[in-house]
Chains A and B, each alone.
Chain A
Amino acid sequence: MDIFLQQIINGLVQGSIYALVALGYTMVYGIMGLINFAHGEVVMIGTLVTISVVGLLVKLGVPLALAGVAGLLAAVAVCMALGWSLERIAYRPLRNAPRLTPLITAIGMSIILQNLAMMIWGRNYLTFPKLLPQVDFEFAGANFTAVQVIIVLVSALTMGGLLLLVYRTKLGMAMRATSQNLQVASLMGVNINRVIAAAFVIGSALGALAGVMVGTYYEIAHYQMGFMLGLKAFTAAVLGGIGNLAGAMLGGILLGLIEALGAGYIGDLTGGFLGSHYQDIFAFVVLIVVLMFKPSGLFGEKTGDRA
């Protein structure tokens, strides 16, 4: 039982990270129907900027806690600027182009950002500074740390904040209007350029936050860390229904849980026939089954008129 509980904790934390990244994908998709494949790289830049800023400040004699906060703020600022420029450079000129074109520029931006990061931060793995003291908890035989609790809390809070923003503010209303119909919203006096830029900036800020969380959790960073994470988060967003905020959160957590339980139990369930190397397959089988019965994902709205 304690092992089962441990696997649930593993999955929940991993899933919260996926969810936090997935929110960035789903926000942009929800508004303009574009899959921003460079989002994983935004997360990576967030982590690496934090490392540099914290390293620099600690060297200058700033206390670690303060340096950590400054690092987080710097990462958020850099990623917001990055998100804004991405939209301005790679996507806005192609807003009326066929749907495939911005997808290709997105992949292009992802490759450019990876190589840029490699040139700036080098090829080696970097260690993320220990921002939070190591506090271990034990509950019913399962081990977890303060960082894990914080990760789950932060993603839940962010998600709540985002829902408030979208459903309770004027900007949120403009976003929802734009997502329904770009042209009509623009005719109704919504400044769609500003709304779309806002979606990118907010999504990137969330990405920076996710980057700091990932860094604190695994304590390592690398210029290619965003790729796999982005892919998994994208899967999570599709599982939950891309374009839907609650769906992204749920999809992320579900994916994390499926992976952890899959890796933990698939071997025993199949009598050793399938091993833990099938954990990804396990997750994707669930995704396929869900999409077979609900093509728009668990929480997805009907998108027939979009596609």
Chain B
Amino acid sequence: MQARLSVVALSVAAVFALGACGQKEEPKPVAAPAAPIAKPEVLVKIGHVSPTTGPQAHLGKDNEYGAQLAIEELNAKGMEIGGTKVKFELLNEDDAADPKQGAIVAQKLVDAKVNGVIGHLNSGTTIPASKLYFDAGIPQISGSATNPKYTQQGFNTAFRVMANDVQQGKALGEFAAKQGVKNVAIVDDRTAYGQGLADEFKKAAEASGLKVVATEYTNDKATDFKAILTKIKSKKADLVFYGGMDAQGGPMAKQMKELGIKAKFLGGDGVCTPEFMKLGGEAAEGHFCSLPGMPLEKLAKGPEFRDRFSKKFGAEIQLYAPYVYDAVMVMADSMKRADSVEPIKYLPLIGKAKYDGVTALIEFDEFGDLKGGAISVYQYKGGKLEYVETLGGAAAPTVKSDVKEAVAEVKEAAKAVAGAATEAGKEAVKAGAEAVKNAAEATKAAVEKK
């Protein structure tokens, strides 16, 4: 016993000694870089949070790659803010998609005095963390948290670069109605994202005259869905909507097939991934999902981004990497416009951003939501996501036709002006000019509305 005690005492002493050493040595590295201060360089710390462990680790890593690519490109390009060269540093944190862990790492980033935060990936972790960033005055841009609550808490620090779930749920509900189904079953994974999307889908589906025959629940760690699917089978649904992620969606589609359920499967952005098709196998064929924004192939900078990404990381883009990339770029762009990396100085300029990113022309509304976020629907076909249509958003065909009409009106009015000018002189010209003005305003309104 005596011997043991002394061992304990020794080790305690050792720990103290180590601690003391650590304290003594700490000031050294701080003092060291002060000497060779030849090139003044400002270090900009950008925090990034996503789950890089746990069931959604593949998506978390994808986000991290997106942020890393942006940071490396920014550093390679070299950027000057306020007359000094800045160097961006990415601080990656893992929240394991767990709201509690999300708040802990958020506090860690706040304590590290980051200049801005990109993330988190999940709505469930982003919402509680956003309060901490708001209190610390740190701007936050998420590339993937789609739950509407995130930007509706009155935090001026919260932004997102993709359409939210009100827009997505609505588009999906309307899309379901167009497929000619009557009875729908809804399943969600009880996360802020899944539940939020399912609720919005339900509202839209009911508004479009669909009947919700079953509402079932699972969780974001489950692998077996046979019990709830059997119940859905008994309610004879023609479409199963799933609010959740690919890791559950894929096996769910497979188990639907095994149970002989012939209903269509429809999901949001969480299941619109290569992973879903890998996990669902043949059972994924013919089902639908949606993604905020336009398909990468249809975007001017999309294919080129995909090449850069796969060349750099040797991996396929899973889901949100382009959005996270844009989020970093918007933040850097706002710093440049503010000519400062201080959160308090560049924060007001994020709201005024007008950045032509990979995924969209990024402008924010008064809540920090993306203006005119589009939703695209895809179908799984032959192991690939096939683009079906885009609903809502500035690039939608409906807007284009509105604009066309308005332009035609302007032209007609102009013609009238020309005609009137020759015939009836000044007064008619005035009236004509007013007509042109009105028509122009109508055009503007039509564009803004969408």
Contact = CB atoms under 8 A, between A and B. Distances in A.
Interface of A: 3, 6-7, 10-11, 13-14, 118, 123-125, 127, 136, 138, 143, 145, 218-220, 222, 224-225, 228, 259-264, 267, 275-277, 279
B234 A127 contact: no
B190 interface: yes
B58 interface: yes
Contacts of A275: 215-217
B58 A263 contact: no
Contact of B227 (A136, A218, A264): A264
Interface in B166-206: 190
Interface in B275-303: 275, 278-279, 281
Given A125-B275, A143-B259, A222 B55 contact: yes
B204 to A, nearest CB: 21
B218 interface: yes
Contacts of A261: 227
Contacts of B275: 124-125
Given A123-B58, A127-B281, A228-B221, A10 B53 contact: no
A14 B230 contact: no
A276 B226 contact: no
Among B53, B58, B226, B258, find the residue whose CB has the most chain A CB atoms closer than 10 A. B226
Given A7-B230, A220-B251, A222-B247, 19 more contacts: A6-B259, A123-B52, A123-B60, A124-B275, A125-B275, A125-B278, A136-B260, A145-B258, A219-B279, A219-B281, A225-B223, A228-B221, A228-B223, A261-B227, A262-B227, A267-B216, A276-B216, A276-B217, A277-B219
B315 to A, nearest CB: 9
Contacts of B57: 118, 123-124
B279 A3 contact: no
B223 to A, nearest CB: 5
Interface in B14-62: 52-55, 57-58, 60-61
11 contacts: A10-B230, A123-B60, A125-B55, A125-B275, A127-B279, A138-B260, A260-B230, A263-B216, A275-B217, A276-B217, A279-B227
A304 B333 CA distance: 69
Given A143-B260, A275-B217, A218 B251 contact: yes
Contacts of A143: 258-260
A275 B233 CA distance: 16
Contact of A3 (B58, B221, B234, B250): B234
Given A123-B61, A127-B279, A118 B230 contact: no
Nearest to A123: B57
Nearest to B226: A10
Given A3-B233, A143-B258, A277-B190, A220 B219 contact: no
A260 B359 CA distance: 43
B48 to A, nearest CB: 16
B226 A14 contact: yes
B228 interface: yes
A67 B216 CA distance: 39
| Binding site secondary structure of chain B | helix
Contacts of B218: 276-277
Contacts of B215: 275
Interface string B228-258: 1011011000000000000100110010001
A219 B61 CA distance: 23
Nearest to B216: A276
Nearest to B188: A277
Interface in B48-101: 52-55, 57-58, 60-61
Given A136-B258, A264-B230, A218 B224 contact: yes
B54 A219 contact: no
Contacts of B53: 118, 123, 224
Contacts of B60: 123
Contacts of B61: 123
B217 A277 contact: yes
Contacts of B234: 3
A266 to B, nearest CB: 10
Nearest to A5: B230
B281 A263 contact: no
Contacts of B247: 125, 220, 222
B58 A125 contact: yes
> Top 5 nearest A-B pairs by Cβ distance?
A123-B57, A277-B217, A263-B227, A10-B226, A3-B234
A259 B281 CA distance: 27
B399 to A, nearest CB: 38
B119 to A, nearest CB: 17
B55 to A, nearest CB: 6
Contacts of A11: 227
A33 B5 CA distance: 29
A143 B258 CA distance: 7
Contacts of A127: 278-279, 281
A276 B219 CA distance: 10
Contacts of A13: 226
Contacts of B223: 218, 220, 225, 228
